[in-house]
Homo-oligomer: A and B are copies of this chain.
């Protein structure tokens, strides 16, 4: 029994978001043994951030190391580059330029560290422990404040020539369409299908339709959640907000299917709480825009993992694979 215990291993999975950084100690079976979070903001120097991360986590790592081996760290972060181990020009983080993040982490923690972007980490999590178990070809779309994606072809994440493949939120679904608040591009998927995009659509529609329940809220309370609440009460304008969003998303998904012909597309993130209000129009418009040979083949499903766990699990999975 002692011998078996000596072979036990655990990894540290980290999910760096614009506001919070979540972490978890995970074993090879994908069990999150312990988790916690720290603020991401407030550390203009990334080394200070890593110091706080180390001070917070290392006591737990030490405790666990008594009966299990600490083998490595996996990180999901905006613009995390798998090839270089860097975080590069992430607009929603304070660290500017190209940060050699995995080098700093390995130095501090004394174990190997790998990084990828947050959506890729979530896709890995779904592939190893979630709804995409056993799938060799699938696409994960994360519908949160922004729209991210992780693409798996032939059993591997698609990193592309530079490590930045899978920016599907920035593909154009409507040429000359809605201007994106950050990138300035016109008609990107993110401009419509992110929580931010849904809020914009809702504000436009409630201004056009004074009878809509959406007008019962102050301006700053209009968001994907309040729109969903109005849908549940039967407000046709709120329902139209998600129908329109689903149309744009479905049209985009059809194009993605004709690229990589995935077995499934997984939807993930806060926006999917809208359930069928977004799923049904998305499915309709995806199918409508597909070539006949692809119709009725692609599973469109919601993520199975707890949102907070998916990226931690996926990040830690990079240590094993």
User: Are the CB atoms of B167 and A158 closer together than 8 Å?
Assistant: no
Stretch at the interface among A27-35, A55-63, A149-157, A269-277: A149-157
User: Are the CB atoms of B291 and A161 closer together than 8 Å?
Assistant: no
A153: chain B residues at CB < 8 Å are: 153-154, 158, 160, 165
A212 close to chain B: CB less than 8 A: no
Selected from B135, B154, B160, B297, the residue in CB contact (under 8 A) with A159 is B154
Q: Which A228-258 residues sit within 8 Å CB-CB of chain B?
A: 251, 254-256, 258
A9 close to chain B: CB less than 8 A: no
A175 close to chain B: CB less than 8 A: yes
A292 to B183 alpha-carbon distance, docked (Å): 8
Selected from B170, B172, B260, the residue in CB contact (under 8 A) with A165 is B260
A165 to B297 alpha-carbon distance, docked (Å): 13
User: Are the CB atoms of A165 and B261 closer together than 8 Å?
Assistant: yes
Residue of B with least CB distance to A285: B175
A72 close to chain B: CB less than 8 A: no
User: Are the CB atoms of B251 and A167 closer together than 8 Å?
Assistant: no
Q: Which A215-234 residues sit within 8 Å CB-CB of chain B?
A: none
Which of A158, A163, A175, A259 has the most chain B CB within a 10 Å cutoff? A259
A292 to B89 alpha-carbon distance, docked (Å): 10
User: Are the CB atoms of B175 and A161 closer together than 8 Å?
Assistant: no
Selected from B161, B171, B251, B293, the residue in CB contact (under 8 A) with A136 is B161
Selected from B88, B251, B263, the residue in CB contact (under 8 A) with A175 is B251
User: Are the CB atoms of B259 and A289 closer together than 8 Å?
Assistant: no
What string of 1s and 0s marks CB contacts (under 8 Å) between A130-150 and chain B?
000001110000000000000
Selected from B162, B251, B289, B297, the residue in CB contact (under 8 A) with A261 is B162
Which of A161, A289, A292 has the most chain B CB within a 10 Å cutoff? A161
A: residues with CB less than 8 A from B are 79, 88-89, 135-137, 151, 153-154, 156, 158-168, 170-175, 183, 185, 251, 254-256, 258-263, 289, 291-294, 297
Q: Other than A88-B293, A89-B293, A167-B258, give 4 A-B pairs with Cβ distance below 8 A.
A: A136-B161, A151-B260, A154-B156, A171-B255
